[in-house]
Structure 1
């Protein structure tokens, strides 16, 4: 299968590409320098030439572009975010819950979800939380906590925050499964959905598992049960990779 993966210069998309190639699929990326996503005619011509069997849209781009891609491939997966839900009302957040985001990023992802829904009835929308990986740079929880320790001399971790999160390898495997065995609709991919690790617990467990000497300080400064529940997909729990 030829899979178009957007966002290959990002954090999660390279992990998905690795998983797809290991499974025997061909992966192609979208070169924005060569094809402007905002030029619909050029984009349509390029897609007609490439003829992907599936599209995994993990890159940034307008809501119009998300709908454009969804309309042109039946096997389509889009990564959205737990941030489509604000902290009030509190979670856990089900797939059917009203999206309450107030920040720009959450509202942007809502616009993309809506554009995809209007364009396709076969698309899968996968909402994900903060990703964890021992090597990948970018928006990666492990690397972020390293940065906090270097900057502040400590890792302030709220015991009132239950984050949506998962390891990138598990998320990539779930996204690839949605490409290989399409399941239209909204999916919540959260390894913390059932176990409910607090952020301070998670920081301590990551420090032990990955040999970090962080000074983890529990706080009460952020209150949100951010977990993503419901939907047809499941990820391995955090306890499959971490000791609580």
Structure 2
């Protein structure tokens, strides 16, 4: 089986890439320096020539690029998987969120992802939409929670963490496994991926401090009072267990 993936320089896609290869799948990485994203014919030709069974669109890019990908994969009969975000829900409201929750974000990133989801429903209704939470890696240098915490400690001398905020988040390895499992074994739909069932941000930071043996100064706050957890009982995803 063949897969194509975008965003391999980001946080999530490299883990999905490794997960696919661990399942003996042939993976083609979209390299923007070699294949343009602003020409519909070029996009179509590259996808047609590569002929993947599944296309994983994980990169952030112009919405027109997504439109070209959606049109091409739909026409060619290729399964399309798109990663969205919990940020489609408003920061001025609180969850928890379920598959029935209506996206209502006002911030630019959330609005962008809502537009992407709407575009897919127009051009490729059978596409998979996977809403992800904040990803947790084990290295600095990429957009993940561990990197954020390391930079916070370095810049501020401490990490302020709310015990009243319950974020949607997952370890990158678990997210990658879930993305591939859904693509291979589930019907097309919109799915919510989150491993955090019961822990506050403060709890998570303390756990990561122990896990990675970091000399962080963690300060408990209640500055953010919100529940951003997503729940989707249709899928199986490994939950956090810090006991």
TM-score under structure 1 normalisation? 0.93
- Matches for 1:150-189 after TM superposition, within 5 Å: 150-189=154-193
* Kept in 2: contact 1:86–1:102 (CA 8 A): yes
Structure 1, 223-232 or 99-108: larger mean CA deviation: 223-232
The answer to whether 1:106 aligns with 2:140 is no
Distance 1:102 1:85 in 2: 8
Match of 2:222 among 217, 220, 223: 220
Q: Is the 8 A contact 2:81 2:129 kept in 1?
A: yes
In 2, distance between residues paired with 1:30 and 1:3? 11
Asked whether the equivalents of residues 77 and 179 of structure 1 are also in contact (C-alpha less than 8 Å), the reply is: yes
Tell me the equivalent position of 1:18.
18
Q: Distance in 2 between matches of 1:157 and 1:184?
A: 37
CA distance in 2 between counterparts of 1:115 and 1:136 reads: 33
Equivalences for 1:183-198 in 2 at 5 Å?
A: 183-192=187-196, 195-198=197-200
Q: CA deviation at 1:182?
A: 4.0
2:232 is matched with 230
1:15-164 alignment runs, 5 A limit: 15-73=15-73, 74-135=78-139, 137-164=141-168
Over aligned residues, Cα RMSD in angstroms? 1.4
For structure 1, the 5+ residue unaligned runs are none
Task: Report SS of the residue matched to 2:153.
Answer: helix
Cα gap change, 1:78 to 1:110, in 2 (>3 Å): same
Cα drift, residue 2 of structure 1: 1.1
Alpha-carbon distance in structure 1 between the residues aligned to 2:118 and 2:51: 25
Residue 56 (structure 1) shift = 0.5
Q: Determine helix, strand or coil for the equivalent of 2:111.
A: helix
For the 8 Å contact 1:7–1:13, the answer to whether it is kept is: yes
Other structure's SS at 1:191 match: coil
Change (3 A) 1:102 1:231: farther
TM-score (norm 2): 0.94
Q: Note the alpha carbon deviations across 1:108-139, whole angstroms, 9 max, x for none.
A: 00011111111223211110111111136311
Match of 2:209 in 1: 207
